[in-house]
Amino acid sequence: MSKFDDAYLDLCERIINNGTLCPNRTGTDSKKLTHEVLRFDLEQEFPILTSKSVGFKSSVLEMLWIYQVQSNDVRWLQDRGISIWDEWEADENGNYKSGNTEKNLGKEFAHTIGTAYGWIVKKYKLTQNLINMIKNNPTDRRMIMSLWQDEYMPTAVLPSCVWNTQWDVTDDKLNCIVTQRSCDVPLGLPYNVSQYATLVHLIAHVTGLKAGKMTFVINNAHIYSNQFDGIREQISRKDQCLAAPKLWINPEIKDFFEFDNSKELKDIKLIDYQHLGKISMPVSV
């Protein structure tokens, strides 16, 4: 069994059995645990679930959309067959409405998620600045990328869930702490862990380092009530889980901004990824 499957299914069991049932803005109650921490050694294992299938290409392309392309345009994802942001896309006039949330972002934000995620990365040159610091001042203790910028919250359709990463170089290894304010454990967490593990590997690759530790800190780890059956099915697969795959990165690419971000994702692949099949669970918007 992969170490990630073991830790993930343990978290799911604890939420189901011990979590607090809470209402929330989506209208679908969820059970939650607070201040959950997951730790990974990226030298030992690439973290992706085998207890169910996880769309690796989609997760990595979403990460590249944020940190490499630095875009907020949902159509970029749609062109690559990725629909995970469709529910949050502003219309052709820049209007966004979901539940009790209604915003007019202006026509310049048509078909986008507003001033969130990649828009923030681009405005503050977060990726470029991080890579420059790692290369030129690896002992710096201020290597942080923050997607949480208060002045741009009113024009973001959704405040960033993963909102902060802190980086460290020790013994030629690149380490990262990922901070998440809110986490849909069945749908979001498998994606987030795999995509941020890939981000650490890619940045380590282009800065001449090895990927080291990655720690996820989740303020609100929740499972929606309409996902309980799917999670119970996944937990029942625990004894069947498989070994983790290996991550392959094209050794010829030395610049983070040159990794292929087409639908084929030619420069980033999983080797020997086997899983126990898909489990469908609804998303709450």
Residues forming the active site: 161
Sign of the C-alpha dihedral computed for residues 272, 277, 280 and 284 taken in this order: negative
Residue with tokens 């690896």: 138
